[in-house]
Structure 1
């Protein structure tokens, strides 16, 4: 099997410490198939003192039961994927991608093997006309706006991530590079085809009731500018309730400047309007740890030297609806053992306070401990 080292996929400094490798299974007459993946193992500990909507006190007690929050051996983003492409013309290429997650830390955790379909999409790319794709993929907002802050393996990103109104039933388009500018647009469809029309009807196995909203389209779009050391992304997402949002528009303006080959700094803002709808108020009542409107400002930096990379980020999260602000921080250290292996340690504190406005109930004065994760990853 012929093997070639693919170009490194840079996503912040963390990716700079671990070159993305792949095995080319087939490459002939414009048709190519690569197989790639990684195995990640680690130990984690600490973290939030509450789980979902249930408060856990400082001793780890939950409804009279002891909750073990000590260190634990865990899987760290292990996955296996395929990249496919075929040249249509000298300018146009058809492509596809298929990627699964699996748990590598134990046989019991792995179950029958793969536990999630992470990516599955098809598309056409042209250097002249741009790229169109459809299926299940990371949000374009992450790819073109919030990606400078996406440098942590776990828990460090406090701007919108890869699943924001994305991951399935989506179509998207982005332009080719236009003198440093790239514009993008993505549409996510939430369908009720096949649902039970009567919202009061009893449900049989596998059925779902329709909602008052019916089918919903969640758009996101914006523009990114890249020129030399400067990267700036401006984007929006209609954060519909069907996709876990509050029904209001979310905006982001995030940038990065590469001062030297070793040092870069990033600054960003993201905000979402406050919803006054009755349906979201009811949702918040049943999910007190969720946020409504917010304004988040993030500041971070990355420094690399030889095989080492270090990251640090700080976020100020200003919540609406009378909830306390949070000052979250993250630190990371990464060592490149070889072109295919790295070891790492991350520490972050979300300063979680969502839900502490429910005076007199068990959600009062929620706090959290610093979360830590250390481990090793091998890329192939």
Structure 2
């Protein structure tokens, strides 16, 4: 899940959140600045499983540690970097320390815009999916999970890594972004040591370089914004011996913020390459900052064609998903949350509740 301090998502709560989870500046001199930051997140979850008893767990919820820095190249251009790692706060002794990379990139920004290279969340996450449902534990499904019909696995390594992106400045409220995701032949790993590229290996097993292209545009006026994003998903060709396309993803989201209330609507599609493999997502969500935290919820209708991963995995072609949640700010750096989600799957699979705590520094 993508974790943010949720109070910052509401303009009306910005004053409360301004002092929360601030990074610690360890160096700031001669135009160069270095910050360190992080958070500890722990949650108790209770989730229904298909064909079995519900699972309960006290688990890490995405705890991270990071560093970021910038320096002045000239009067107009600033160079910057960010590196972030994850660790398991619930079982720190056995987790191997900072054991998983989250995001890392380097770039430059100025009046020309922002250009970066590295690993970070896909543009369709930031501009299309997050305004509707970027919660603490439970999110709605989307065109990323439609690749595998698995809410717990959207192939984030492929989708987030090896990227190059340019984002323009805002021109009278209009902004655009373009980029590419590269999955090179050199990423191939002969895991079974048989000297042959096959389905038992990891990385690029197709034998040729694969590059996806993505782009989007956003227009903002006052408290209203609308964004559209397209991604070709061509990097997935490198993980198939047949080299076939998996399809495309695109979406449109509009949101409106007034005082402490934000409302967003979304239309998103995973356009599968094969016949009858498309999945459409239509959703609406709202978030309200009540002064000591946020109250939020979202509903989504999922329309899956007969041969899609969703329909074959779950034995149905339409689903009504919703989630509800509330946060409570204990202090400027610490809050708790409670969430509930229902996904309309067979046997109530993946439905559940979670309660947790967040401390940011």
Which interval holds the TM-score relative to the shorter structure? 0.7 to 0.9
Task: Please list the CA deviations of residues 140-167 of structure 1 after superposition, one character each: whole Å capped at 9, or x if unmatched.
Answer: 2222333312430123133356949532
* 1:319 paired residue number: 304
Indicate if the aligned counterparts of 2:12 and 2:261 stay in contact, CA closer than 8 A.
no
The counterpart of 1:144, out of the listed 120, 127, 136, is 127
* 1:22 paired residue number: 23
* 2:248 paired residue number: 249
TM-score normalised by the chain length of structure 1:
0.78
SS of equivalent residue, structure 1 residue 193: helix
| Mapping of residues 149-188 of structure 1, within 5 Å | 149-160=132-143, 163=156, 166-188=159-181
Task: Give the Cα–Cα distance (whole angstroms) in 2 for the partners of residues 304 and 209 of structure 1.
Answer: 43
Count residues with an aligned counterpart. 327
Asked whether 1:10 is paired with 2:8, we answer yes
* 2:92 paired residue number: 107
From the superposition, tell whether residues 43 and 270 of structure 1 become closer, same or farther in structure 2 (CA, over 3 Å): same
Task: Please list the CA deviations of residues 70-104 of structure 1 after superposition, one character each: whole Å capped at 9, or x if unmatched.
Answer: 42211111000001100011210000000000000
Task: Please list the CA deviations of residues 311-348 of structure 1 after superposition, one character each: whole Å capped at 9, or x if unmatched.
Answer: 01000000012632010000010001111000001111
Give how far 1:209 is off.
8.8
* 1:356 paired residue number: none
The structure with the largest alpha-carbon Rg is: 1
From the superposition, tell whether residues 99 and 160 of structure 1 become closer, same or farther in structure 2 (CA, over 3 Å): farther
* 1:227 paired residue number: 221
Give how far 1:105 is off.
0.7
Indicate if the aligned counterparts of 1:140 and 1:185 stay in contact, CA closer than 8 A.
no
From the superposition, tell whether residues 9 and 376 of structure 1 become closer, same or farther in structure 2 (CA, over 3 Å): closer
Give how far 1:238 is off.
0.9
Task: Give the Cα–Cα distance (whole angstroms) in 2 for the partners of residues 312 and 217 of structure 1.
Answer: 36
Give how far 1:195 is off.
4.5
* 1:378 paired residue number: 359
Q: Which runs of 5+ in 2 are unaligned?
A: 145-153, 312-316
Indicate if the aligned counterparts of 2:10 and 2:262 stay in contact, CA closer than 8 A.
no
TM-score normalised by the chain length of structure 2:
0.81
Give how far 1:46 is off.
1.6
Give how far 1:210 is off.
6.3
From the superposition, tell whether residues 369 and 243 of structure 1 become closer, same or farther in structure 2 (CA, over 3 Å): same
Task: Give the Cα–Cα distance (whole angstroms) in 1 for the partners of residues 43 and 26 of structure 2.
Answer: 30
Give how far 1:139 is off.
1.2
SS of equivalent residue, structure 2 residue 130: helix
SS of equivalent residue, structure 1 residue 321: coil
From the superposition, tell whether residues 37 and 13 of structure 1 become closer, same or farther in structure 2 (CA, over 3 Å): farther
Greater Cα shift, 75-84 or 9-18: 9-18
SS of equivalent residue, structure 2 residue 8: coil
Task: Give the Cα–Cα distance (whole angstroms) in 2 for the partners of residues 228 and 302 of structure 1.
Answer: 18
Task: Please list the CA deviations of residues 285-336 of structure 1 after superposition, one character each: whole Å capped at 9, or x if unmatched.
Answer: xxxxxx9411100111111211031001000000012632010000010001
More helix by share: 2
From the superposition, tell whether residues 298 and 8 of structure 1 become closer, same or farther in structure 2 (CA, over 3 Å): closer
* 1:33 paired residue number: 34
Task: Give the Cα–Cα distance (whole angstroms) in 1 for the partners of residues 168 and 203 of structure 2.
Answer: 39
Task: Give the Cα–Cα distance (whole angstroms) in 2 for the partners of residues 8 and 151 of structure 1.
Answer: 9
Task: Give the Cα–Cα distance (whole angstroms) in 2 for the partners of residues 209 and 160 of structure 1.
Answer: 22
Task: Give the Cα–Cα distance (whole angstroms) in 2 for the partners of residues 263 and 194 of structure 1.
Answer: 45
Task: Please list the CA deviations of residues 187-212 of structure 1 after superposition, one character each: whole Å capped at 9, or x if unmatched.
Answer: 00111127589xx96459x9769644
